[in-house]
Amino acid sequence: MTGPATLCAAFQRTAAQHPDRVALRTVGDGVVITWRQYRERVREIALGLAGLGVGPGDTVALMLTNRPEFHLCDTAVLHCGATPFSVYNTNPPELLGYQFDNADNRVVICEQQFLPQVRSAVGLGGKVEHIICVDGAPEGTLDLRALLPAADFDFESAWRSVRPDDVLTIVYTSGTTGPPKGVELTHTNFIENARITEEMGPLGFDDRAVSYLPDAHAANRWLTHYQNLLSGLQITTVADPKAVLSALTDVRPTLFLGVPRVWVKAKMGLDAALQEAGPLRRTLAHWAIGVGRRKARASSGGARLGALDSMMHALADRLVLSSIRARMGLDRVKVGASGAAPIPIEVHEFLLALGIPICEGYGMTECTCAGTINRASRIKIGTVGIPAPGVEVSLGPDGEVLLRGKNIMRGYRKMPEKTAETVDPEGWLHTGDIGEIDAEGYLKIVDRKKEIIINEAGKNMSPTNIENAITANTPLAGPVAVIGDRRPYNTALITLDPEALARFAERHGLTGQQSELAESPVVRAAIDECVQNANRSLSRVEQIKTFTVLPDVWEPGSEYLTPTTKLRRKPIAEHYREVIDAMY
């Protein structure tokens, strides 16, 4: 890939190209920052950080919601020759303390709302000397806008001295077990991985994306921060991730990254709207979506619609589908990506039927972001696509997915043994995922190597596949955990989605708190019907024999879900042991 060798050089080039175009904004244009203003603020903040002694080899922690200041501060740290890294805002003090100790950062940049966590973490030890607030300066902190500039700091020389193999960021894996590992990613890692955009179509100043996922999440940094520096892609920040779907009509993004839960909720919202529509509109919508499904399935199989079906699809799109996309704010999307966890096939097919090109991909922090991805020109449903440019994909003897390329991490910070366990001497990253590669080179992920269910009869099953079937068929469901390892049959713990539950309760005249509604026979009957529907899409051995509706809400970053919504299976199994045993 030709062009800048570091993200600092990329930023300087991008900012100079169209200085008066908008680089960063919030919904409704409450805050608007041009590339000229962005460059000026980066220089000011870098001078202030240099005044605190931040320089090459240093690290700076960021604990911020999705707001423009994240971009300003992260880029400024890079221009000091230092390494910025983000921490999840839900992290408890003990975990923050571990990360600060591992990273050796002397500076933390945060919002006032996170000061109690940060101060408690700093009190546990480590090297933190300065806490900078972006929204004021409570006692014992520094105001970002009032940092004193270093008198002898050569800004130009500092960013030009940054090398391609310098650490761009440290991403702490949320991990379903054990302490988080600090993945060190270099400028080269990202720039090489960004070659995928050459195949998606060039990105530029007319493109738009939404930043709503945590910036401690590698994928959000990849698309809505580093791509912004590299290509001029305009970023709209959304501080409350629950508001992302409503923000889409303001932004009308051309690129959008959604974790599966976002896509599931988008489908649920549309399903609910269709239920409330009049008979004629509902019938017309179902017809149009059915036509869209035929097109999605044909494209997935590498075929084209016949002449009659093509005319039908053009009519369906003009009468219905284009209007649905516009109401969702996804009518300008060139590429919609789905990652972090598998998207239910039913949900994926539904969105493709609407004409939204959702490209499911596969990757992990250790490979910067993308290992494989479907291309908008050929989205093969049920797969995570073909290798990204410059990435080799292979399967180990046991089916483990192996990745190799210039996008593979430098290593785990201060963990040489763990690094050696994960990246072998030939450069292959051992992902821990079991996969299959079809005749066309498309990768399908079966499940995590360590999470495969092996029942009493020795049958191997993917819990994720079963969980996705339940989620796709159960509008009321939040996260679902399937149990069955070394058991005679499969059972499920089903949580309730608060928003969907509220709509259901209103429609059925039910009252009470979430815990009370979870015990309602009406709710139980509705979920039972949905689980039976899901079972019809599963093999007999995979089917759910019984389930428990939980009164609890599992939030991202909690004891039961990682910040990227992956199940923490061991804590779930331990906490709900009695509930699980009662189902057997």
For the chain, give every residue range classified as CATH 3.40.50.12780. Answer: 7-162+194-239, 260-401+408-448
Q: Express each pLDDT in 379-400 by its tens digit.
A: 999 999 999 999 999 999 999 9
* Cβ–Cβ < 8 Å for 104, 127: yes
Query: What CA–CA distances, in Å, run from 173 to 90, 99, 364, 570, 573?
Result: 14, 11, 9, 17, 21
Q: Would you tell me how many other CB atoms lie within 10 Å of the CB of residue 540? A: 7
Choices 3.30.300.30, 3.40.50.1860, 3.40.720.10, 3.90.1150.10: CATH for 453-582:
3.30.300.30
Q: Express each pLDDT in 409-456 by its tens digit.
A: 999 999 999 999 999 999 999 999 999 999 999 999 987 777 888 887
Helix intervals (H) in 487-552? 498-508, 514-517, 521-535
- Per-residue model confidence (pLDDT) at position 329: 96
d(CA 142, CA 251): 33
Query: Would the pLDDT of 474 be above 90?
Result: yes
Q: For all residues of the chain together, what is the average pLDDT?
A: 93
CATH domain 260-401+408-448 topology:
Rossmann fold (3.40.50)
Nearest-5° Cα angle at 564, 176 to 527 = 90
CATH domain 7-162+194-239 topology:
Rossmann fold (3.40.50)
The secondary structure element, H or E, covering residue 328 is helix 322-328
- Per-residue model confidence (pLDDT) at position 71: 99
Query: What CA–CA distances, in Å, run from 28 to 32, 246, 251, 325?
Result: 9, 12, 9, 20
* Cβ–Cβ < 8 Å for 339, 193: no
d(CA 119, CA 96): 10
d(CA 108, CA 62): 6
For the chain, give every residue range classified as CATH 3.30.300.30. Answer: 453-582
Tell me the sheet residues that pair with 188: none
Residue carrying structure tokens 């996804």 = 330
Structure tokens at 491: 């059972």
Q: Express each pLDDT in 198-240 by its tens digit.
A: 777 789 999 999 999 999 999 999 999 999 999 999 999 999 9
Sheet holding 490-496, edge to edge: 477-483, 490-496, 544-549
Q: Would you tell me how many other CB atoms lie within 10 Å of the CB of residue 240? A: 12
pTM above 0.75, yes or no: yes
d(CA 526, CA 549): 11
